[in-house]
Amino acid sequence: MPGKPSLGLRLAFYLGMLFLHFPIVIIVLYALTTEDRTYQFPPPGLTLRWFGEAFQRQDMWAALWLSLQVAAMATGIALVLGTMVAAAMYRFQFLGKDFITVLLILPIALPGILTGIALLTTFKRLALEPSFWTIVIGHATFCIVTVYNNVVARFRRTGFSQIEASMDLGADWWTTWRMVVLPSIATALLAGGMLSFALSFDEVIVTTFTAADQKTLPIWFLNELFRPRERPITNVVAVFVMLITFLPIVLAQWLTRDTDDLHGGGKTG
Amino acid sequence: MTLRRRLSDALYLRPWLLLSLLLIPPLLWLGIIYLGSLFNLMLYSFYSLNDFTGQVEYRFSLSAFRQLFSSPANVDIVVRTTLMALVVTLACIGIGFPIAYYIAFYTKGNARTFWYLMVLLPLWSSYLIKVYAWRLILAGEGVVSWFFNALGLGWLLQGILSVPVIGGPSLSNSYLGMFLVFTYVWLPYMILPIIAALERVPRSLIQASSDLGARPGQTFRKIIWPLVIPGVAAGSIFTFSLTLGDYIIPQVVGQPGFFIGQMVYVQQGTAGNLPLAAAFSVVPVVIIAVYLLIMRRLGAFNAL
């Protein structure tokens, strides 16, 4: 750790940061352009009319509503299953523990297209029609690990002695869970839950394989990309989606600020 | 004793009971739904398509793999995708390393939290929106062309685009553009593990190295870099594997030449050939496995 960053390093850092954030600025700028067919830069004029038009699109609202339902359901399942497996992995030593670690990481380590096509072949074989539930099954599978990472990190920090003390003082499992365990992992649950909500809300690759004609917001968005007109509407929705996903991320970061690093690095596309 | 109390005691006295209660539901989900599906996918790659009815024949056959490897076009797809994944990974290391290095060594306190969040936010902003933004930026009438023209360098951009292989009619229709988008989208996956690895480098080692007379460059090569390789390896696994499986970026930005992910998507969809799609999806798994083996040979995992 030499004293001061060299000019070259500073330049590489700030240029890299510019590279990371420039496209986001562009999205906002193009939401305000008066030109709706080409990608002309600089925009010939600025207007707010696309915000009004986007909010009148019924198909957009339907897609948003479906996405929120899917994300809520998938997150709910992931919270229950992720916490259970985190508790088991933290509390017990048993045969096959490494196998479970691999099993948890696999859905995010392998490309999403593999999860998608694997689920699709299975639904085909079982003659299951793609539906709301098949989308939820796909999403919950890769959300479990996000919850697991956050909760198991918290368990490791708090230790088991409080639970034993609670039992020694006469509380049963249910009371101990409610009065001791839950309060100590609450913020980790919230952080993991919000991350997996954002993960599901944004997912498109697995969803294209597990949905039939249901349009989640990302799928609606994908279709919009190939529409020749009214492009700025796509940008307005993009800005809107960014706000919806940014809030949980910043909040999750804030919730875990004094404790452990946020375990959000495991997101995959 | 109440029933609740008795249940509670039973769980406390028999840990294996608690363990199975906790473990069975998540194991059923991941083991049956997820692993089962992967296994089923492998089975599908050994089925065939009946030429007359267009239905899947549930009998062992190597025809999907034969189809996959007998066509030079398919082999091209595999080579093209693998090369792109490698180049993108190298670019992510090149751009990501200085960013991670600066954040890990030259920021602290609130500034560090701020810059960390500035890496996290692009990671978590919608994948599709990022890809779409690049379509706007790279378009013929978009920002990049405007920028080159404003500087009077339009001829330079045209020159780059006329280079065979990487060029094309516009940046949004070229492998160069696709490479930029891939690099952008996966860059945070490289930065985060490198930051984590750099943070674990003991500061005393760096101090000792310079006390013993090493120049900063020597300290970097002999102390910091060897300790950070596992982080770079972890990041490269992400960038490599994500590029291998992606099918949306080549579809939105790029040349007509297909990528592995697109083949999987098209074969299961419009072509309706699920066995061939399954066979194609086995390819990235094999390539990733080979990649991991090479990384281990290079000693990337020794320090993990």
Residue-wise DSSP of B127-160: HHHHHHHHHHHHSTTSHHHHHHHHTT-HHHHHHH
Query: In Å, how far is B281's CA from the nearest CA of chain A?
Result: 6
B35 within a domain of the structure (yes/no): no
B16 within a domain of the structure (yes/no): no
CB contact under 8 A, A225 and B185: no
Q: State the burial class of residue A148 (Cβ atoms within 10 Å of its Cβ: 0-12, 13-18, 19+).
A: buried
- Residue B80: what pLDDT? 92
Bridge-based pairing of strands B56-57 and B48-49 is antiparallel
B122 within a domain of the structure (yes/no): yes
Partner residue opposite B281 with nearest CB, options A114, A202, A249 = A114
- Taking residues A134-159, report their average pLDDT: 89
CATH number at residue A127: 1.10.3720.10
- Taking residues B211-235, report their average pLDDT: 87
Q: Please give the Cα distance from A17 to B202 (Å, whole number).
A: 26
Q: State the burial class of residue A3 (Cβ atoms within 10 Å of its Cβ: 0-12, 13-18, 19+).
A: exposed
Partner residue opposite B36 with nearest CB, options A122, A202, A249 = A122
Q: pLDDT exceeding 90 applies to what percent of chain A? A: 25
Residues B46-104 pLDDT 10s: 988 877 777 888 888 888 888 888 888 888 999 999 999 999 999 999 999 999 999 99
Q: Which of residues 141-200 of A touch B (CB under 8 A)?
A: 141, 144, 167, 172-174, 198
A20 within a domain of the structure (yes/no): no
In this predicted structure, the answer to whether residue A153 has a pLDDT above a threshold of 90 is: no
Model confidence at A3, pLDDT cuts 50, 70, 90, reads low
In this predicted structure, the answer to whether residue A65 has a pLDDT above a threshold of 90 is: yes
A5 within a domain of the structure (yes/no): no
Residues B141-173 pLDDT 10s: 888 888 888 888 888 888 888 888 787 888 888
Give me the DSSP letters along B245-266: H--SHHHHSS-SS--HHHHHHH
Q: What domain range is B194 assigned to? A: 63-297
In this predicted structure, the answer to whether residue B215 has a pLDDT above a threshold of 60 is: yes
| The one-letter amino acid at A18 | L
Partner residue opposite A113 with nearest CB, options B26, B103, B245 = B245
A21 within a domain of the structure (yes/no): no
Contacts of A17 in chain B (CB under 8 A): 99, 115, 118
A76 within a domain of the structure (yes/no): yes
- Residue A86: what pLDDT? 92
Q: pLDDT exceeding 90 applies to what percent of chain B? A: 23
CB contact under 8 A, A172 and B41: no
Contacts of B98 in chain A (CB under 8 A): 9, 12-13, 16
- Residue B35: what pLDDT? 92
In this predicted structure, the answer to whether residue B304 has a pLDDT above a threshold of 50 is: no
Domain count, chain A: 1
Best B43, B124, B244 residue to mutate vs chain A (most A CBs within 10 Å)? B124
- Residue B91: what pLDDT? 97
In this predicted structure, the answer to whether residue B231 has a pLDDT above a threshold of 70 is: yes
Q: Please give the Cα distance from A212 to B171 (Å, whole number).
A: 33
CB contact under 8 A, A114 and B285: yes
In this predicted structure, the answer to whether residue B128 has a pLDDT above a threshold of 70 is: yes
In this predicted structure, the answer to whether residue B26 has a pLDDT above a threshold of 80 is: yes
Q: Which residues of A216-246 are buried (b: 16+ CB within 10 A; e: fewer)?
A: bbbbbbbebeeeeeebbbbbbbbbbbbebbb
Where are the alpha helices (H) located in B47-142, listed in sequence order?
63-70, 72-106, 109-124, 127-138
Q: What domain range is A117 assigned to? A: 56-255
In this predicted structure, the answer to whether residue B1 has a pLDDT above a threshold of 50 is: yes
Query: In Å, how far is A110's CA from the nearest CA of chain B?
Result: 7
A50 within a domain of the structure (yes/no): no
Structure tokens at B126: 């919608």
Domain count, chain B: 1
Contacts of A19 in chain B (CB under 8 A): 95, 184, 187
Query: In Å, how far is A88's CA from the nearest CA of chain B?
Result: 6
A148 within a domain of the structure (yes/no): yes
The reply to whether A128 touches chain B by the CB within 8 Å rule is no
Model confidence at A257, pLDDT cuts 50, 70, 90, reads low
Angle between helices A112-125 and B36-45 (to 10 degrees): 80
In this predicted structure, the answer to whether residue B6 has a pLDDT above a threshold of 70 is: yes
CB contact under 8 A, B41 and A167: no
- Taking residues B104-123, report their average pLDDT: 87
Contacts of B123 in chain A (CB under 8 A): 264-265, 267
B271 within a domain of the structure (yes/no): yes
B206 within a domain of the structure (yes/no): yes
- Taking residues B114-126, report their average pLDDT: 86
In this predicted structure, the answer to whether residue A141 has a pLDDT above a threshold of 80 is: yes
B3 within a domain of the structure (yes/no): no
Q: Please give the Cα distance from B216 to B101 (Å, whole number).
A: 14
In this predicted structure, the answer to whether residue B196 has a pLDDT above a threshold of 60 is: yes
CATH number at residue B213: 1.10.3720.10
Q: Which residues of B42-77 are buried (b: 16+ CB within 10 A; e: fewer)?
A: bbbbbbbbeeeeeebeeeeeebbbebbeeeeebeeb
Taking all residues of chain B, what is their mean pLDDT, rounded to a whole number?
86
In this predicted structure, the answer to whether residue B283 has a pLDDT above a threshold of 60 is: yes
Residues A68-91 pLDDT 10s: 999 999 999 999 999 999 999 888
In this predicted structure, the answer to whether residue B135 has a pLDDT above a threshold of 60 is: yes
- Taking residues B113-123, report their average pLDDT: 87
The reply to whether A69 touches chain B by the CB within 8 Å rule is no
pLDDT: which is higher, A101 or B239: B239
pLDDT: which is higher, B285 or B85: B85
Q: Please give the Cα distance from B114 to B112 (Å, whole number).
A: 5
State the residue for tokens 């986001």.
Answer: A24
B151 within a domain of the structure (yes/no): yes
Contacts of A5 in chain B (CB under 8 A): 102, 105-106
Model confidence at B300, pLDDT cuts 50, 70, 90, reads low
Taking CA–CA distances from B182, the nearest residue in chain A reads: A269
Contacts of B246 in chain A (CB under 8 A): 111, 113, 205, 269
pLDDT: which is higher, B5 or A13: A13
Residues A32-56 pLDDT 10s: 887 777 777 787 777 888 888 888 8
- Residue A266: what pLDDT? 45
A187 within a domain of the structure (yes/no): yes
CB contact under 8 A, A20 and B119: yes
Model confidence at A98, pLDDT cuts 50, 70, 90, reads confident
State the Cα angle at B187 between A142 and B146, rounded to 5°. Answer: 125
Partner residue opposite A117 with nearest CB, options B113, B119, B268 = B268
In this predicted structure, the answer to whether residue B290 has a pLDDT above a threshold of 90 is: no
Model confidence at B302, pLDDT cuts 50, 70, 90, reads very low
In this predicted structure, the answer to whether residue A261 has a pLDDT above a threshold of 60 is: no
Give me the DSSP letters along A58-106: HHHHHHHHHHHHHHHHHHHHHHHHHHHHHHHHHH---TTHHHHHHHHHH
Q: Which helix (H) or strand (E) holds B56?
A: strand B56-57
Query: In Å, how far is B66's CA from the nearest CA of chain A?
Result: 20
Partner residue opposite A41 with nearest CB, options B35, B142, B244 = B142
Contacts of A264 in chain B (CB under 8 A): 120, 123-124
- Residue A155: what pLDDT? 86
- Taking residues A167-187, report their average pLDDT: 86
The reply to whether A28 touches chain B by the CB within 8 Å rule is no
Partner residue opposite B98 with nearest CB, options A9, A118, A250 = A9
Model confidence at A269, pLDDT cuts 50, 70, 90, reads very low
Taking CA–CA distances from B106, the nearest residue in chain A reads: A5
A183 within a domain of the structure (yes/no): yes
Q: Residue B181 — φ and ψ, nearest 5°?
A: -65, -45
